[in-house]
Amino acid sequence: MRTVPRNQAPKITFFQVHLPRWAENAEQLGLNPDDIATMTARTEAAQAALFAQMQAQRAAEAATLALREAMDAMATMGANMLLQIRATAARSGDAIYPLASIDPPAKGSPVAEPGTPSKFEFSLDSLGALQLTWQCKNPRGSVGTMYQVYREVDGSGEMVFLGTTGKKRFIDTTVPPGAKHIVYKVRAMRSTKLGQSATFNVNFGVDSSVRKMLAMQQMAA
């Protein structure tokens, strides 16, 4: 059994508890009072440094979450604006694209509608955000596929739009505290074409961690 704990906080506490006793019995213990005074100062410095480190870590976690939310908000709004531009070009012609300084879609045969998301997976990170990933087989030669993500919480009956992503993943940073059952709906879209949506369920255990996926059912848009 270790005399001095291995972890930082318990180690500091060990010396905080023992140093006063050592100071009272320095001569009997064969210790130098000056060394005890120095050790006391170093223990106080270690305590202050640990507190500062914990504060910095909490600040870093908050900054990481703020960055993630800001990036997601920017990407979602930007993707929606690009979709609006493409929808306008589909109605008014490709002359719209130079005005937006973006390339028009490659010419060719009409491409079928986007595929249907499937094979969902998810994980809960240390900050409480739920990362969703999926697969989606889209037509050969298709580009610019985006994915709309909706969410229903605890059987509310309301599918709330969360955002749009250009990747086959989405980070939900707004999972309500205490939520027990969430239904997500994901639908692929490209220009003005929409694919079929797919829904899947996520259950949370009593310890607020993801326990298992109950079901995944594909549904027509």
Is residue 22 in some structural domain?
yes
Q: Which of 155, 217, 154, 214 is nearest to 186 (CA)?
A: 217
* 204 and 141 belong to one structural domain: yes
Q: What was the pLDDT predicted at 82? A: 86
* 127 and 51 belong to one structural domain: no
Is residue 152 in some structural domain?
yes
* 56 and 142 belong to one structural domain: no
Q: What is the mean pLDDT of the chain?
A: 85
* 54 and 118 belong to one structural domain: no
Last residue of a domain, one of 42, 60, 78: 60
Confidence of residue 55 (pLDDT cuts 50, 70, 90): very high
Last residue of a domain, one of 19, 39, 60: 60
Q: What was the pLDDT predicted at 80? A: 83
Distance CA 146, CA 192 (A): 11
Query: Does pLDDT of 148 surpass 50?
Result: yes
Is residue 90 in some structural domain?
no
CATH number at residue 187: 2.60.40.10
Is residue 176 in some structural domain?
yes
* 56 and 115 belong to one structural domain: no
Total structural domains in the chain? 2
124 versus 182: the higher-pLDDT residue is: 182
| pTM assigned to the model | 0.52
- 216 phi and psi, to 5 degrees? -140, 120
Per the structure, the complete domain to which residue 142 belongs is given by: 111-218
DSSP-derived secondary structure letter, 59: H
Is residue 36 in some structural domain?
yes
Q: What was the pLDDT predicted at 214? A: 34
107 versus 109: the higher-pLDDT residue is: 107
Q: What was the pLDDT predicted at 156? A: 86
Is residue 121 in some structural domain?
yes
Q: Which of 195, 192, 198, 143 is nearest to 170 (CA)?
A: 198
Is residue 44 in some structural domain?
yes
What sign does the dihedral 88-93-98-102 (CA atoms) show? positive
* 53 and 123 belong to one structural domain: no
Is residue 128 in some structural domain?
yes
